[in-house]
Structure 1
Amino acid sequence: MALEEYVGAIVLEVDGREAEVVSVSPTSRTGKKPVKTMNRTGRVKGFTRGVEEHELKVTVVIPLSAEEIDWWAMEGGKLTISPAHPGGKRVSYYDCVTLEMGEQYNADNEARRDLSIFSTRRVTE
């Protein structure tokens, strides 16, 4: 059995600026919904197409300098997730808006900022 290499670290860019990220968890929904009908088989008959949605849960470290990205005011931002090694595919989320912003402080780690962000479009580049 051959040894395989997997995707490792990622880089998150926000409008061309690199963010110091602890974790990123994107969730995309197709918007499709089942159509339930009252029939003899008792099964779903098909589906409808709806509005696709993209949500990102991002945790970033809080820098000591004043050059932190203004997450609170982000509207229409572009977030790009890139593999740290060459040859991997980039995924970009367009028209990003911050929904929620929180902070966490811990005795063992650096201060962190937790963000909930939604996007209108996801593109694999």
Structure 2
Amino acid sequence: MALKYASLGVIEVDSRELELTQCKVNTNTGRKAVKTINRKGRVKGFAKGITEYMLSLSVAVPLDEEEPDWDNMEDARVTIEEQNGKRTSYTNCFTTTIGSSYTVDNELIRDIEVVACDKVVE
């Protein structure tokens, strides 16, 4: 019997569904190793840090409708819904980098880097 794996269903930005070609989510826990002088010469523990959530979105640019104002996106909510119904929302999002590229298939793709202040699993 074949195994079933989780797959991406829908991505929304402020309740507006997007047509994505790629989505990457990175979490940086901010933890740092605490190096002490000891006989074994190894790290003894870690210090807690500030967690950062970074999202990289590659969005297909629509011809018939206006795309969101990516340059001025602040305090937005990005929601990722998987096919199994699991929803994860990233809140208080703002854009840091916006770029454009063309693919081999002659498609215009908007590459957007987003930082989120919080993550909520619904």
- Fold shared per TM-score above 0.5: yes
- Map 1:64-75 onto structure 2 (within 5 A): 64-75=63-74
Provide the residue aligned with 1:124 in structure 2.
121
**2:103 maps to which residue?**
106
- Looking at structure 2, the residues matched to 106 and 112 of structure 1 have their Cα atoms a distance apart, in angstroms, of 7
After TM superposition, the structure 1 = structure 2 runs for residues 6-85 of structure 1, keeping only pairs within 5 Å, are: 6-83=5-82, 85=83
Q: CA deviation at 1:71?
A: 1.3
Show the counterpart of 1:96: 93
Structure 2: tracts of 5 or more residues without a match: none
Shift of 1:56: 0.6
Q: Which runs of 5+ in 1 are unaligned?
A: none
Q: Give the root-mean-square deviation of aligned CA atoms.
A: 1.3
Counterpart amino acid of residue 60 in structure 1: V
| TM-score in terms of structure 2 length | 0.93
* Residues 72-112 of structure 1: per-residue CA shift (max 9 Å, x gap): 111010000001x3x43111100100000000013424100
Partner SS, residue 72 of structure 1: helix
So what's the TM-score if we normalise by structure 1?
0.91
Q: How many residues align?
A: 122
Pairwise CA distance, 1:5: 1.2
The residue identity in structure 1 corresponding to 2:100 is: E
